[in-house]
Structure 1
């Protein structure tokens, strides 16, 4: 980072804090909303984020269009498969970054007699990229670039952190890092100008932002905006801390959403359902 950028760096505060919202509780699927749906303008470019703890059978194969889904594994094993020929398994710390684009069919499920505990974030695609070809990226825990400081490890899933950069490709620019911080240690995470962002505490507790807001397991801490200048947020662990810090450049485009489809107009949503019914998303593999 240039000296002029460091000089003008905005110290982010925590604007809002909430705990996850229970959404579903069955014998095979417990779900909590981290970012509730339909707050499109506030969360832009993010649409929704859920924490899922599930067993096999929670989901069948289903379609998507107009978004990217980002699945971060907290624990367990997640088996994934789509109709573009991609399949595999994710384990603790692994991430799947799937661009649905013009349309994809996929399934994510736990193994037989196993479980999958994960975060899934939906990132909106810019209007000009809504109908791109589907793309699939795996960011394995062992392969992701890591920034190390005293008492801290910051895994860079997307974007950058302190000069360490991920190779993950984005249509909407997104910074996503996993922070493992020992008790009584601190780090600073930097952002480009005009990035909306938040922190989600997976485990432990800490003090966050320039206004020193306390946060604990299952808390969401939404950052104040910083439109014109680069910015940074400070994280300090009061207990051993595991969290994700996620920020992205707002698209500032209209949002029309229904079910698994997110477009810019209601007509585009109707077309998505029509295309799906007519088999234009392709066939689901039979074996």
Structure 2
């Protein structure tokens, strides 16, 4: 399918409010009662952890975790012996493989917020040895475009990679200071990949025209293989755009484990 033939209309979906055991709040795109997994992606949410909260040591297996911090810092420790505190703009990847245990707590007695993505492991890689990697904000390539700033969290130039071919972009689109001219950004993942675009802050118009669907913070759209997306805004809109190659296998999630 050529770019001229790609679909240009997208359904806007609302993420759901979730409260984890211990009171930690999240805005979850999927899985929810209305939105299932999105092969190869198991889960995506924006989390908020207050100073007196946190996730005690708990196990994971069968998938990979990518955490991208938006505000504050999060103290991480795991059964491999790694301890780190990613802060706003930093990212870390955990390949749970055949099993890992870790904890997550806010650093510096201050609240923190970030984005967490779970990516399924292909069936023949479920028994991988667990591993950990991290990248600071200055290690993630950032490109200034006409009306957008694009940071590559996973993809070309990033030191982070996963077992699944994918890209993860942090994109800020801005209009003119007067609001008279809209800024826009077009995303065209590989034709065989599946993805989604989640609004972190601000608002925009999907598909780049006056009749396009409005996209607000906490909402998202999904892209099937061959889709593209144009995001426009007269003010400012920050999104994360995530796409990857499907595995073509069912996702069987049982809490912190993915078979």
- Please indicate the TM-score interval, normalised by the length of the shorter structure: 0.7 to 0.9
Distance 1:48 1:42, change over 3 A: closer
- Structure 1 segments unaligned to the other structure (5+ residues): 264-287
1:188 and 2:183 aligned: no
**Farther-moved stretch of structure 1 (108-117 vs 24-33):** 24-33
Distance 1:48 1:37, change over 3 A: farther
Which residue is equivalent to 1:172? Answer: 164
Identify the match of residue 64 of structure 2 among 59, 68, 73.
Answer: 68
- Structure 2 segments unaligned to the other structure (5+ residues): 176-181
Distance 1:108 1:42, change over 3 A: closer
User: Whole-Å Cα distance in 1 between the matches of residues 30 and 150 of structure 2?
Assistant: 22
Give the alignment's TM-score, normalised by structure 2. Answer: 0.87
Which residue is equivalent to 1:220? Answer: 220
Which residue is equivalent to 2:178? Answer: none
SS of corresponding position for 2:138: coil
SS of corresponding position for 2:128: coil
Which residue is equivalent to 2:81? Answer: 85
Q: How many angstroms does 1:222 deviate by?
A: 1.6
1:29 and 2:27 aligned: no
1:52-67 matches, cutoff 5 A: 52-55=47-50, 56-67=52-63
Q: How many angstroms does 1:235 deviate by?
A: 1.6
CA contact (8 A) 2:147 2:185 kept: no
CA contact (8 A) 1:38 1:47 kept: no
SS of corresponding position for 2:109: coil
Distance 1:54 1:99, change over 3 A: same
CA contact (8 A) 1:207 1:214 kept: yes
1:1-287 matches, cutoff 5 A: 8=3, 11-24=6-19, 28-37=23-32, 43-55=38-50, 56-111=52-107, 113-160=109-156, 165-183=157-175, 184-209=182-207, 212-226=212-226, 232-263=228-259
SS of corresponding position for 1:142: helix
SS of corresponding position for 2:11: strand
CA contact (8 A) 1:13 1:224 kept: no
CA contact (8 A) 2:39 2:194 kept: yes
The one-character-per-residue Cα deviations of 1:107-164 (angstroms, maximum 9, x if unpaired) are: 111025211111111110101111111121212222101222123210011124xxxx
User: Whole-Å Cα distance in 2 between the matches of residues 68 and 24 of structure 1?
Assistant: 22
CA contact (8 A) 1:11 1:233 kept: no
SS of corresponding position for 2:85: strand
Distance 1:104 1:20, change over 3 A: same
CA contact (8 A) 2:208 2:232 kept: no
Larger Rg: 1
- Structure with the bigger percentage of helix: 1
Distance 1:42 1:19, change over 3 A: same
Q: How many angstroms does 1:223 deviate by?
A: 2.2
Q: How many angstroms does 1:42 deviate by?
A: 5.5
CA contact (8 A) 2:152 2:169 kept: yes
Question: What is the total number of aligned residue pairs between the two structures?
Answer: 250
User: Whole-Å Cα distance in 1 between the matches of residues 249 and 22 of structure 2?
Assistant: 39
CA contact (8 A) 1:11 1:210 kept: no
